[in-house]
Structure 1
Amino acid sequence: MMSGSIVSTNRENFMPLALLPLLLLIVPILEITVFILVGNVIGLWPTLGLVVGSAIIGALLLRSQGISTLLRIQKEVAAGRVPGRDMVHGVMIVVAGVLLLTPGLVTDAVGYLLFIPAVREAGWRFLKSRVVALPMGGGWRRAPDAPSRPVAGVVELEVEEFERRPASPDSPWVDGRGGTLH
């Protein structure tokens, strides 16, 4: 069982958080505009039906794809491998479900795209070179036949290469009560 993980990101490759308030303003305006345009073409009730039907379909897709992804993650963990790819797919599936449950046609379109495995795989390829998840607490062990991939700034040691000693009182890894921080 994993007790936590450290996620390291290469910040210059990600959208700055300063753009988040702008997105929170633009997305609702875009949703209202598209809702009005679609309503003018197909009518109010069919447009509302489209939004409600999309939420129902999104919930069903979230359930089916979410369960299968959780099963793959459990299988990877049981095999002693870090399920990075499946975890990213799982997060994208949850985001897709939230987008489909959110009223709006633009968010529905993005949500449906995230349910397509090829789109999620493209997202995984984009993220895997930019985000590194490191297990904490020794929850994951690499399978004996799994190749070792070096991670910048991380030194991997075999059991024979280190020894555990009590922490000194002035160590930054001591919590002040005599225990060590993990």
Structure 2
Amino acid sequence: MPIFILLFLIVPFVEIYLLIQVGQVIGALPTIGLCVLTAVLGGALLRQQGVRTMARARHNLDQGQLPAHEMLEGIALGIGGALLVTPGFATDAVGFMCLLPFTRRWLVSHVLRRVTVVSAMGAGAYDSTTRRPQGREADGSHIIEGEYERKD
């Protein structure tokens, strides 16, 4: 909890400092224009990358694979979009890192290496190397052993 309080105190001061420094170099109106431009570019990039990520998630679901990468990429896209709408240059840098495909995939892979994703599609965890739930066969089939009794 203290880290969030620290972030809420430090980030605005860093942003104000950077805005003042850039404003002194290029002027107030170009600085404001640059902030608006990054927000507009971020919105367009968010829309494009969001559609691509949703298409990949849908494809993985159709193949019977858990779209864990795509779900985390969607979270990163949301965070990146929020940071780009926030005025400032430091938040824009982090926001673009979340929106650009190569840096976003690196961040998501880094997170997936550190966590275990439990699959609701069956027992076991998500295997990040094969991008499917552990215990699932290569052809997508899943064998469930059990007994049943038919009552008419």
* TM-score relative to the length of structure 1: 0.67
Residue of structure 2 in register with 1:30 after alignment? 14
**Tell me, which stretches of 5 or more residues in structure 1 are unaligned?**
1-16, 148-156, 165-182
The CA deviation at 1:18 is 2.7
The CA deviation at 1:22 is 0.3
Cα distance per residue 1:108-134 (max 9 Å; x no partner): 111112222221122122111222222
The CA deviation at 1:137 is 7.0
Q: Does 1:85 align with 2:69?
A: yes
For 2:116 and 2:95, the matched residues in 1 are separated by 25
For 1:43 and 1:95, the matched residues in 2 are separated by 29
AA partner of residue 88 (structure 2): G
For 1:71 and 1:134, the matched residues in 2 are separated by 22
Q: Does 1:110 align with 2:99?
A: no
Corresponding pairs, count: 136
Q: Does 1:48 align with 2:32?
A: yes
Q: Which residue, 116, 120, 135 being the options, matches 1:132?
A: 116
Cα distance per residue 1:26-53 (max 9 Å; x no partner): 0000000000000000000000001111
Distance 1:86 1:137, change over 3 A: closer
For 2:44 and 2:2, the matched residues in 1 are separated by 34
Q: Which residue, 48, 52, 59 being the options, matches 2:43?
A: 59
**Tell me, which stretches of 5 or more residues in structure 2 are unaligned?**
123-131
Higher relative contact order by CA 8 Å / sep ≥ 6: 1 or 2? 1
Identical aligned residues as a percent: 38
Distance 1:146 1:117, change over 3 A: farther
SS of the aligned residue for 2:138 comes to: coil
Measured on the aligned residues, the alpha-carbon RMSD in Å equals 2.3
Higher alpha-carbon deviation: 84-93 or 18-27:
84-93
Higher alpha-carbon deviation: 129-138 or 24-33:
129-138
For 2:139 and 2:69, the matched residues in 1 are separated by 15
For 1:163 and 1:57, the matched residues in 2 are separated by 57
Residue of structure 2 in register with 1:74 after alignment? 58
Residue of structure 1 in register with 2:129 after alignment? none
